[in-house]
Structure formats: structure tokens, C-alpha cells
Structure 1
Amino acid sequence: MTLREVDIDVARSLACEVRSAVVGGFGSRPHAVSLKKVCEAGLFRVVRTSRTGERDAYLVPRSTAGFDVVVRDGAERTRSLARRRLRFALAHEVGHSFFFNRRMVPHDRTCEWTDSEELFCNRFASELLVPSAEVAGLPWTPGSLRLIRDQYDVSLQAAAMSAVAHHPGAVAVALRETDHPTKGRALRIGWKAGEPFVPEHARLGSLVAEAAWVRGTAQGVEELRLGHLNGQLHVEAEREPGSSQVLVLIRPRTQLELGQMELFPRAVSSALR
């Protein structure tokens, strides 16, 4: 299929079509789509580069039919993370290919690139790797995100991007301890998933997250003031085993929780007490 304009709503249906064309997982992961099969079916060839740049990958039409997906070598901490980041980058670039006319060789673009196309490709990649219908019923917990990560062979960030779509107002952030030239060491945002705006590389200012950094896990209701995260919010945090990263899940309080607050304002349970 060739697109002549960006329609983000089409991304999901296209991803479903591609996924159904390469039925079956690979190895011990029956839920995970085989990007090798996708690349073979769509005539995509992976080319590695050591050049630095802001983009993890980009798409180049070949002089013959098909595309080269030029992938920048990263500095991921583990081989599994490198593989999972590559899978998302490949799926994202496959999304870009729908804006090329394959009847022409080399393939030519059908429309000018826009920021909306990046959103389209992110939506396409997320749906291709993790079908939304298969994760819609999962609760908003760190355990759910790890389950998605392991079953679909994606990064924790990609898992969060898929799951957060089913939890309005929710946000997932990964905090990493970094050095600051004037403020010393602090937990700062490494990545974020969810609609509410949160500044990149900012300090979250969450006591729950700080407690999880020390204890391994913590949860509670606390006041947050960062970007569009304003007010009393439910926060659950876990430090990733063997990692310097803290996964923080934030969501608005439910009507039941709000009712409990009105009835028992002094009996709010929190892992911090």
C-alpha cells in the first residue's frame, strides 16, 4: 500500500496486515513478530554504520527494488537491549516505506516528510511489535510491562508505549542516576511514555521513586509538579534488577480511591510510611 498523506489512524490497520502476512513468532517467543520475515517480504536490507547522529536508523531506497535500513551502532548496556532497540528501529523504518512509490525504481517519495509522519511510524512500529488488542486487559503495573517486554521481545520503553494507550492519563518514566554540574547526583528522566507532557532529562521530584531507588520498590499517593503532571497522583516505582534504572508508573487516582480519600483522609496507605 502507498500513502500520499499522513493518516495516523491507518497505522494500526497497516501493522495488522503486515503482521498477519508473516504469521508466527520465532524461537521461544511465539508472540513476537519476526522482523527477519518482515524484511525479507518487503525487500529491506539492514546496513550498519558507526557514524554518529541523532537518529537510530534511516531509510534509503536502493538502485534496485527495495530499501536499505541504515542502522547506527549504539552503546546499549546489554545485547538484549541492543536487539530490542534494533527491532523497534526496523519496524519504524518499515512504516516510512509506505510513503514511497514502489512502482518506481528507485522508489520515490509520494509526499513531503513531516513530524506527523514520525508519529505515524511510531504508532505503526508499536502496533506491529505489540498488537494493542493483545495487551488491552493488562493492569498498569511494572510486572505487566516486563511481561510485554519478554513476550514480544521489545524494550521496556516500547512495552510502556503499547500499554499506556489503554490507561488514559497514565505516564511511565525511567529514571537514571546522573551527575549534575551544580546539583550533584540526582535521578533524572531517561525516557517517557504517555500523553501528558513531561520535560526530558528533568528531575521528577518523587519521594516514591527515591524510596524505590533505595528499597527496590515503593508506591503511594503524592503531589507531583512537573510538566502536565500536577496534583495528587498514584505513583508506583520499582528499581530494575541488576540495573541503575527505576521504572515509575504514574496515573490519576480512580473514583474509588478519591472516595476513600474523602471518607478516610488520614488513613491513606503509602509505602513511604
Structure 2
Amino acid sequence: MEVLNIQNLKKVYGSRFGGVKYTALDNIDLKVNEGEFVGIMGPSGSGKTTFLNVISTIDKPTSGKVEIDGRDISQLKEPHLSAFRRDKLGFIFQDFNLLDNMTLKENIVLPLALANTSYDEIQKRLKEITSKLGISEVLNKHPYEVSGGQKQRAAAARAIISNPSLILGDEPTGALDSKSSKELLSAMQYLNEKNKATILMVTHDTFAASYCKRVIFIKDGKLFNEIYKGDMSRKDFYQKLLKVLSVIGGDIDENI
């Protein structure tokens, strides 16, 4: 089943009155099927952040089509857009975006509470997801009382608890140490393989990208290359990613 369908996506920034225009995304085509774990990589300024912003409905495309679950998101208006974002998309940010005045439990169940989900269903999903992510014992603590890794796993739990069609990760390991990064990536891999969660993750970190099943490379606003992991070991996949990055000038992290 196709979750994300992008056709001829273009994003141009600049003045309508003769100012300098900058093409951030240039006629991108991409399809992502249910159960895929896709990484987006590229040099700084390549367009990968703009790409994520358009898919997440933060920004609107200049032209082209972005369909999620068959809905063209560029055609949605408020309040339907907010409802679509809440029901269909899950977000994992680099800086966690947890509310400090709420416990981890309250942060995690917030999307379900906003959707008026029943108490019993909330408790059922909470127990299942937090057990899988290994944070059951810290649910009654506030974000400032736990480690960065626990915060990010709580953010992942919040992203997945509403069973969204697509989970979007924006440099989710960027603020974590190596141990916490491995824990989060292993948790995301588990959710992808066991729950069939569909994940699209923007990252500059080759180590993080090596957990994906497919990696898309963007350069100068265009799709430059893509690599499928297939039967490769994660270490071999990592080395292949490094080779592509060395060609396009991406950041290289020798930390596997």
C-alpha cells in the first residue's frame, strides 16, 4: 500500500516582484510504501529540510503534488489540515518538543486525548508502546528529570501512539550521545519491523541512516541517488552510504 506519493514537487523561494529566486526543490518524484523505513540525506543546503517541511505540511509546495494516504495535502485548508496532521502524521524532532510542565505519560498520550480517544484505549496503547520502547518506569517523571535518550524515546512513543500513516523524523539523533542514539534507532527499527510503522527520517548522520531500509540522497534540490539495503549487513550498508556521501559532499561520520 502506498503511503506517500510525490510528483513533480517544486519549491521556489523569492520575491514575486523581481527579487532573486532560489529553487530549493526541483521536480522531485518519490513513492514510499507502507512499512518502509526511508532515510533522506544530503549536504547542507541540499533541500532535505525543505523537503521534510513540505511533507509535514509546515510549508506549501510551489507546484507538484504531495499525497499522503491518497490525500493531496496542498489542497487541505484549516481546520481539516490540523486534523489531518494530528491523525495521519507523527513527528520526532531533534529537540524532543516535550512539554516540561507535563509528565512523560501526559506528553505521550496528548495526541489521543486531543482526539477524544477513550480512557481504556489510551491506557492500552500507552502500556504497549512504552513497554516496547523501554520507558515504562519513567512515565510519571517530567522531561527535565530524565535522560536525553529517555526524552527522545518518549517523543517516539508520542509519535507512534496514534497509529499515524507516516512518522517523520527530523534529525532525531542530533541531540543524543552515541548510546542514546543506538537505543532510539533500535526502537525505531523495532517499530518499523514489528508494528509496520512507515518512517521517513532526515539525517546527516550515516550511522543513523544505516538503520534504514532505503536511503534517498538529495543534492541541489534534486534526487541524486537512492540505495536499498536489501540483504546487506548494516555495516556494509553504512560503507556504501559513505561512498555516496563522499561523491556528493555530504557530512561523513565514521562512528559505526
TM-score range, shorter chain: under 0.3
Higher relative contact order, structure no. (Cα contacts within 8 Å, ≥ 6 residues apart): 2
TM-score (norm: length of structure 1): 0.24
Query: Greater CA radius of gyration, 1 or 2?
Result: 1
TM-score (norm: length of structure 2): 0.25
